[in-house]
Structure 1
Amino acid sequence: MGREIIVDRESWTLELGSGMTMNPHSIKTGVQGIINYLVKKEILTLPNYSLKRKHITLVYRRNIRSYYAPTGGMIQNRLSLRNQVKKGDKLYEILSFNKQGNLPEIINIYAEKDGFIFDVSTNCSVNQGDYVLDICSPNID
């Protein structure tokens, strides 16, 4: 207690995918980033290695709109990551099994603003209020 501790190395979290699935592209990108870090810090020496640069787009959190299931059911026809959407485009459907004994109904969920699909959940079965996806509008402040 009372002494100064100097930590001279950053920490890394390697994202392997999302939820219960692994994404080979995420694994490759994460490992490449760690190799770049180790080479840049001169911890690892690789002859004829050039640092890989990757363009990333940073966005404000306020430009991300999360969509949640208005009712329980099964997600169908969900748009995939990076799909461009316009306000009013259908994002996904919920096949809702009601508790009154009526036939199941399809509930369509539409985009409230322009953007692109920024993140999606991995589960196709949802309860009311469960997260489904995010839309990002990067050029809006």
Structure 2
Amino acid sequence: MSRNRKAYDILIVEDNVEQASLTKMLMEEYGFTAHYVTDSIEALKTIQSDQPEVVILDLMMPELDGLRLCKKIKSSPMLGNTKIIIYSGKMYDSDRRKALELGADAFFIKPARANMLITKIRELLHPIQNGTYQN
């Protein structure tokens, strides 16, 4: 990654520390700055203070699940443009539909292939225009 390019900030919200750590390492391997938190209340505080470009949310979180956290982020005037990826171990189509209705930008089933996740993040950060990514 070129030094002059911005390292986009990604926050991983995952209550499984091992999964969070692996996802963080993957993001860093692809040149992103990544952090993780293991509870949704801390996640909301971190998102408000750090304003990451992308948030990867586990669907099943204690206290405030990924859907409710997604809704809070997307309904905030300050945070509404944050890109949100819901990352879930559940394969229910109703969860996917609800996540997208609430404003999630993508929904992946764990374990997702790394290249698919990275490609989606890049698409969200640099929308395709005229058939090519804009960097």
With normalisation by structure 1, the TM-score equals 0.22
Structure with greater strand percent: 1
Q: Quick check: which has more Rg, 1 or 2?
A: 1
Q: Which structure shows the higher helix fraction?
A: 2
TM-score by length of 2: 0.23
Bigger RCO of structures 1 and 2 (CA < 8 A, at least 6 apart): 1
